[in-house]
Amino acid sequence: MSKIGKSPLPSGWKECRIGELFESWGGHTPSKSMPSYWGDGVPWASSKDVKAPRLASTTHTVTPQAVEETGLKVCPVGSVLVVMRSGILAHTLPVTVTDVPVAINQDLKAFHSSEPFMNEWLALFLRMSASALLASSRREGTTVQSIQYPLLKGTLIPVPPEDERAQIIGAVRMAVEKQASALPHVKTAARAIERFRQAVLTAACSGRLTEDWRGVAGVGDWDFERAADVCDKVQSGGTPRSGFTDEPGVPFLKVYNIVSQQVDFGHRPQYVPETVHHRVLKKSVAYPGDVIMNIVGPPLGKVAIIPDDFPEWNLNQAITIFRPGDRILREWLYYYLRSGLFMDADLITRGSAGQSNISLTQCRDLQIPVPTIAEQQVLVQRIGELMDHADSLLARVDTAGRRTERISQAVLVKAFRGELTA
């Protein structure tokens, strides 16, 4: 028997094992070789269907014949479904309450009580105590995790009287509804900041951001030049047939190492030996200050400046190096590539399985705006200041989002302390 939390019970509450209060059962998967088992009929839930607090529909349905011949039990409306076996249990305990009768597969367990408000109470308890339940009842498997059914049924749940239970559930619903109404505004604000970033880059790369400066400086319009003419090198990488090493050597970049328009080599790092770096991959040796862009997607548009964590780097064929020459600042080149203004249907070719590609020849032929170095310096400064402002705004939005997401959890904790009706 396990107990979640150590707070004393409020007056009038009792504490029981989940298995004493709820009938519970599992399910299974009818044979896929029997077409007559699958079709219009009863919704059939798997772990993939348990994504929201309420369950009104499922991806698959089974026929009455499947229910009758395979012994599937149909869960009544209001049943609490818990995912018992899934990789998601590594960090999350999915729980839902059914709004329609459903059958379930072998990865779920259903819990049901005929006592008023008890099923909703169990769902709230499981969500409130999810972290503790995972820590105490989870079994680690080779590929997926599972919840130990006997331990879950033996977990102690605090239960208030029926009228108080109804009041608490109502208060929790109101809090969750407030959270649900606030989250879209947070997400809208985050999207607006991303649009602001793009607007800054568009204004910069079109010349509008420094139009005032050019008027004072008496500088004319920009020249546009091929990337190959303004860069000392434009070259994609390659992948050696062998030679990767887990030992520190020369860092080898893949597209997944470009995160939030920066190099993140801490994510699944790979290295190649110096011999491979200087022989097989000598064409794609990269140095700190080189600008890189992925040319295989989706998504395209991942851009970064090689940092100085290592003196030399290398990269695979899905990334192109743009090494700026004397007439272009690396930061300006980075911002222009990041803007994506050159991305159009004529540039991108579509490959198999939905792949999108930009060829090395197209990279070398990209038309790059080349203001004077003095104007590039002003552009980089102004873009940086505006991007810093966007970062500050986004940090505030993220903080608000995390605070909003914590509201319902805080309310649940108060609910099971009896503080919502005190």
pLDDT tens, residue by residue, 65-94: 999 999 999 999 999 999 999 999 999 999
DSSP label at residue 9: P
pLDDT of amino acid 248: 80
Residue percentage of the chain with pLDDT more than 70: 95
pLDDT of amino acid 407: 63
- Cβ neighbours for 403, distance < 8 A, ≥ 6 positions apart: none
Q: How far apart are the first and last CA of the chain?
A: 29
Residues 109/81, Cβ–Cβ less than 8 Å: yes
pLDDT tens, residue by residue, 150-183: 999 999 999 999 998 898 888 888 877 777 777 7
Indicate if the alpha-carbon torsion angle 246, 247, 251, 252 is positive or negative.
negative
Whether residue 160 has a cis bond before it, omega within 30° of 0: no
Q: Which domains, and CATH codes, for the chain?
A: 2-159 (3.90.220.20), 223-370 (3.90.220.20)
Q: Per-residue pLDDT for 1 more than 60?
A: no
Among the listed residues 177, 165, 57, the one whose alpha carbon sits nearest the alpha carbon of residue 118: 165
pLDDT of amino acid 243: 74
Q: Which two tokens stand for residue 283?
A: 């064409």
The whole-angstrom separation of Cα 67 and Cα 69 is: 6
- Contacts of 160-164 with CB under 8 Å at 24 or more apart are 160/10, 160/12, 160/13, 160/418, 160/421, 161/12, 161/13, 162/115, 162/116, 162/117, 164/12, 164/418, 164/421
- Strands 95-98 and 80-83 turn out to be antiparallel
Whether residue 299 has a cis bond before it, omega within 30° of 0: yes
pLDDT tens, residue by residue, 24-44: 999 999 999 999 999 999 999
pLDDT tens, residue by residue, 365-409: 999 999 999 999 999 999 999 999 999 999 888 887 777 666 666
Q: Which two tokens stand for residue 102?
A: 């459903």
Kindly state the average pLDDT of the residues 293-301.
92
Question: Angle between the 373-415 and 330-339 helix axes, to the nearest 10 degrees?
Answer: 60
Q: Per-residue pLDDT for 297 more than 80?
A: yes
pLDDT of amino acid 352: 63
Band (61; pLDDT cuts 50, 70, 90)? very high
The whole-angstrom separation of Cα 416 and Cα 403 is: 20
The whole-angstrom separation of Cα 330 and Cα 328 is: 6
Among the listed residues 247, 257, 261, 357, the one whose alpha carbon sits nearest the alpha carbon of residue 314: 257
pTM of the model: 0.64
Residues 284/235, Cβ–Cβ less than 8 Å: yes
Q: Per-residue pLDDT for 144 more than 90?
A: no
Q: Per-residue pLDDT for 412 more than 80?
A: no
Among the listed residues 420, 294, 298, 415, the one whose alpha carbon sits nearest the alpha carbon of residue 355: 298
Q: Per-residue pLDDT for 422 more than 60?
A: no
Q: Which two tokens stand for residue 5?
A: 């939390």
Mean pLDDT of the chain: 90
Element (H, E) at 132: helix 130-137
**φ, ψ at 141 (rounded to 5°):** -110, 180
